[in-house]
Amino acid sequence: MGIRIKLIGLTLLSALFIACGDESPQNTYIPDFEIKPHPSDANVFVFRNTTQGEHYYWRWDFGNGERTNRVPVETTEMQGFYPENGTYTVTLTIWGSQSDWSDNKQVSKQVVVENDVFIPAFEVTPVDGKTNTYRLTNTSSGEYDRESWLVNDKVLDKTEQNVEVYFPFEGENKISISLSHGEFEKTMSKILSITEDDPDFRSHYQLVWNDDFDGSIIDKEKWLFETGQHGWGNAEWQNYTDGQNIAISDGTLKIIARKSGEGQQVGDYTSARINSKPSFTYGIFEICAKMPDYQGPGVWPAIWMLGQSIREGTNWPLCGEMDIMEYVSWDPNKTSSAIHIESNNHAKGNAIGSGHVPLETAEEAFHIYGLIWTDTELRFYRDDCSNILLTYKKPANANMDNWPFDQPFYFLLNMAVGGNYGGVHGVDDDIFPATMEVDYVHVYQMK
């Protein structure tokens, strides 16, 4: 690599100032420096202070985004790292006074860098015999200390020159390689478009957490109760209890809403709301459940997930909410799915949802309510992965307001009474007790 040094400016000499009654000039000095290549690192240059005359402070601006503060001159040499080709202007400022900030002069020179320290590059090729599987091959040139692969901005745990990556679903995926040399890092990206889902994608997932409710009591290692009768943000009427409103028998969990008072006001009804202790990021989530027998309006069962961050102080809806299934008894034989995020939620009147989708046997039969959650999209489905009710893709300008879905979420199973949604058409006191049954909760993640 060649290095060319060009002097672009003469030393800027300050005019001599004459103090009143004193014809002696201030100390004169001529700032200057030399540039030499580093003996072993081609993209590092050594700058040697050759200023003539008495001087006290200096400041370097290396032209590569790095500079020093105004500090006492204690050495004759400094170094600058220039990772990319180009022309850089290096400026040395010298102070000839220990107290006068205005007593300074500058000199600038250019260095011309002809080569990058490294150039990140890679190839993407399909793997024969493996659906939606691609080989990433590092073809970078130059010297670097570290490399890492990223898929959709997530760092892979593999750093080999060749890696295989599986993409189960159609859509665009951002693939990147990031290289580092010391503190310098550079990333190169490509977009890979997958045109079809892998029809056998489920074989790449494995069961990682479940509750099949085969016992007779709630598993407190998996679930905890939320209790209270404060309306829960939706003007609801139920008091959530710590176990009196659930039962486990015949392989199902029963969440039971009861009328316990005179009715028609907060606290006159009891129900249950249980939350999973663990939380999860990405996967296939399936809950098999049956809605209460239809008897009239007033109950609001839900199977949903909230961002773990709400347990750590983040407010709703910034934490994110994924409603896998909601049902309101004033509109029987239908279910819905929705998301609530900072940019789109029911409080703003712009929640993203499926609307009430017909399901003639919602109250008579068990159905699977599912969510496929990846780092690029959410798919809500019913009974079969191909029966999609709602899809939400990660926005191009993703941030916490519109995509809080790169963090853990936990399950909530509950049945509310009344409220701004469940009580739109009132609460019929003759419908109680009302029971939602849950056969199982399954979580699958990529092998």
d(CA 250, CA 214): 7
The C-alpha atoms of residue 197 and residue 168 are separated, in whole angstroms, by 6
Q: How far apart are CA 10 and CA 167, in angstroms?
A: 60
d(CA 272, CA 94): 74
Largest alpha-carbon pair distance within the chain? Answer: 108
- Report the candidate in 142, 123, 139 with the shortest Cα–Cα distance to residue 181: 142
Q: Is 217 left (phi over 0), alpha (psi -120 to 50) or beta?
A: beta
Q: Report how far residue 113's alpha carbon sits from residue 84's, in angstroms, rounded to the nearest whole number.
A: 7
Is there a contact between 412 and 304 (Cβ–Cβ < 8 Å)?
A: yes
Q: Classify residue 262 as left (phi > 0), alpha (psi -120 to 50) or beta.
A: alpha
Active site residues: 321, 326
3-state secondary structure of 429: helix
- What backbone torsions phi and psi does residue 248 show, to the nearest 5 degrees? -125, 120
Q: Are 76 and 48 in contact (CB under 8 A)?
A: yes
Q: How many residues appear in the chain?
A: 447
What does 227-294 look like in DSSP terms, one character per residue?
Answer: -B-S-TTTTB-EEE-SSTTEEEETTEEEEEEEE-SSSSSTTSEEE-EEEESS-B-SEEEEEEEEPPPP
Sheet of strand 122-126: strand arrangement? 122-126, 133-138, 162-166
DSSP symbols for 186-220: EEEEEEEEE-S--TTGGGGEEEEEEE---SSS--T
In contact, 341 and 404? CB cutoff 8 Å: yes
